[in-house]
Amino acid sequence: MTMVTKVKTGKSRTKRRTKAFAAAVMGKPSGQIQERVKQAGPEHFGVVSVDCAKDRSKWMLADFYGRVLIPPTSVEHRRSEIQLALLTLKQAVEKHGIKDTIVAVEMTGTYHQIIWRAFRTAGYDTRIVHPFASSHYRAPEHGDIKTDDNDLVAIFRAAVNGFGLLDQPWDDVYRCLQMLVRHRRDLVNKRAKLQCQIRHHLERSLPGYTNAFPDDSLWTQPVALKVLQYIAEHGGTHQALLDVGIPGVSKWLKQQNVAFQSRSVGRIVAWAGNAVVGDPMRSMMTRIWQSLLIDWQQKTQQIIALERDIASLLVQTPWVLLMSHPGINVVSAAELAAETGPIEHYASSKAITGRAGLFPSRYQSDGVDRGGNLSRFRNARMRGAWLLAAECLLKCNDYWRGKFNFWKTQGHDSRDIRVRIANRFTRTVFQMVAGRKVFNHRSRLDRSYILDKLLTFHREHDTPMAEILTDLKSATDQLPKHAYADEAKPLQEVQRKSFRSRRNEPQQLGTLLVGLLARLGVTIQPPALQSVPLEAPAADSDKGDR
């Protein structure tokens, strides 16, 4: 008889490894309640366990010894049902002489927040139990038998062993910032998919058009997208450009109030002169990419509006100080602030790297001690924000670019290098944000100026003047006073240039900057006073009277 050896798939190995990692990820218990139990007495200390689902939850009450006082009871996520559950709990507490109580709610996506808020609003010490912790305490007794009642017992065990964790409160500014940043990131991803779809249809209907704009400048040059609109409105083929030539295209662009250079139009018309005929179904493809392009433009406008709002929230936090770091701008600083949260929640930079998982895994048993891949089961969004910041540093910071090239020559993997940069960057960020400091590091070649970066950002986003001034004032409040003089220098130059300009917009900006520079300790004489001579000749005054 032939014996067949089964080869386990990668999915099975991953699942087995997941269970092995679960215990390690729970970390140290930080929800200890022993002192409170000692004061109230174990039989007078109540633990409410709640297992949540989408439409309903199940809860029970037990004392510290595990004696069940209220058996597992279902509660619908309706106001009347929740109020009845709170009343039942209150009566049981009085009946059994419970002096102190905690409520342990298992985290279940966002479904647990309804019950969590209800108990917290009622005045109970409400805590969160991570699913890893409840799974760890359920497995020894029940194995792979998972029921709501078994989960409640596991939640109870996790809570009494210190794994009922207090949820650190976030300020509304951070909560709003997190929602807007994640919404922007979602729109950016959707816009990237649209770009791929548009390219696909353009390559079939207008072969070679995208190659006329190297370095992905198709999406950053207004003339490139506007000419596509002209082509779509005049037949959808390159022949539309050949029929009118450079003069006709230039005239149409002027009518559309699009700023352009003649060489850009010449490059497009030159492409049309040597273009091949597209797909026979190009008329339908033109209709498709035209609708996709409209969607792309709408999402671009939404992203711009979101970035303005994100900047207004960022300047209300100390994370705006990160903009003094070369390579970090509004968006990357906001990503870090939104996913990391208030810096007061972290005792050191190691707490940040631990929560984000910016370190390798480890397996040690007796004499075996080996490292592994990047640590798993951490805060994925937070890790993504820090790795995104590392990517920005690689592109825009000469110091970290040099480090990358040096480590690359030593044979290190590019992904490992990015994690190294993110790990080391947390130390600098923690010192800056927690210490309320501007950037001062050996990678400093030319320190970026926060207010200048913020002003440039808003001018590129066409932000109204009043909002620009409000954000600049809020950012000034976050600056250390010793940095006022340095931050005022680039603004002084902007103010001088604005008063020399003949356009209204720069002059208005220059007038607004006078008050801001005064807050920074710089006195600017208004241009009207500068232009009036101290002693006007009598003859000139007589002529003026006439």
Does the pLDDT at position 380 exceed 50? yes
3-class secondary structure per residue, 232-291: HHCCCCCHHHHHHHHHHHHHHHHHCCCCCCHHHHHHHHHHHHCCCCCCCCHHHHHHHHHH
Query: Exposed, middle or buried, 246 (CB in 10 Å: 0-12/13-18/19+)?
Result: middle
What is the domain range of residue 425?
315-359+372-435
Does the pLDDT at position 90 exceed 60? yes
- Of 133-137, 447-451, 519-523, the poorest mean pLDDT is in 519-523
**Residues 6 or more apart from 140 whose CB is under 8 A from it?**
none
pLDDT-derived band at 4, boundaries 50, 70, 90? very low
For the chain, the distance separating the N- and C-terminal CA atoms, rounded to the nearest angstrom, is 124
Q: What is the pLDDT of residue 11?
A: 46
> How many whole angstroms separate alpha carbon 18 and alpha carbon 453?
44
Q: What is the pLDDT of residue 216?
A: 79
Q: Please name the helix (run of DSSP H) or strand (run of DSSP E) that holds residue 99, with its range, or none.
A: none
Token representation of residue 239: 């022949």
Domain stop point among 98, 131, 163: 163
Which amino acid, one-letter code, is at 147? T
CATH number where 198 lies: 1.10.287
* Beta-bridge partners for 56: 76
pLDDT-derived band at 441, boundaries 50, 70, 90? low
* Beta-bridge partners for 103: 48, 126
Asked if residues 489 and 452 have their Cβ atoms less than 8 Å apart, the reply is no
Q: What is the pLDDT of residue 315?
A: 97
**Residues 6 or more apart from 102 whose CB is under 8 A from it?**
33, 46, 47, 48, 124, 125, 126, 127, 159, 164
Answer whether residue 49 is part of any domain: yes
429 shares its domain with 347: yes
> How many whole angstroms separate alpha carbon 261 and alpha carbon 191?
27
Asked if residues 475 and 458 have their Cβ atoms less than 8 Å apart, the reply is no
CATH number where 34 lies: 3.30.420.40
Asked if residues 302 and 288 have their Cβ atoms less than 8 Å apart, the reply is no
40 shares its domain with 159: yes
Overall domain count for the chain? 4
Q: What is the pLDDT of residue 269?
A: 92
Closest CA to 343 of 332, 355, 327, 331: 355
Q: How many CB atoms lie within 10 A of CB 380?
A: 12
239 shares its domain with 188: yes
80 shares its domain with 100: yes
pTM of the model: 0.83
Token representation of residue 17: 């490894």
485 shares its domain with 522: yes
> How many whole angstroms separate alpha carbon 117 and alpha carbon 126?
8
Answer whether residue 284 is part of any domain: yes
* Beta-bridge partners for 70: 61
189 shares its domain with 293: yes
Residues 326-365 have pLDDT tens digits of: 999 999 999 999 999 999 999 999 999 999 999 888 888 9
Answer whether residue 416 is part of any domain: yes
466 shares its domain with 518: yes
189 shares its domain with 280: yes
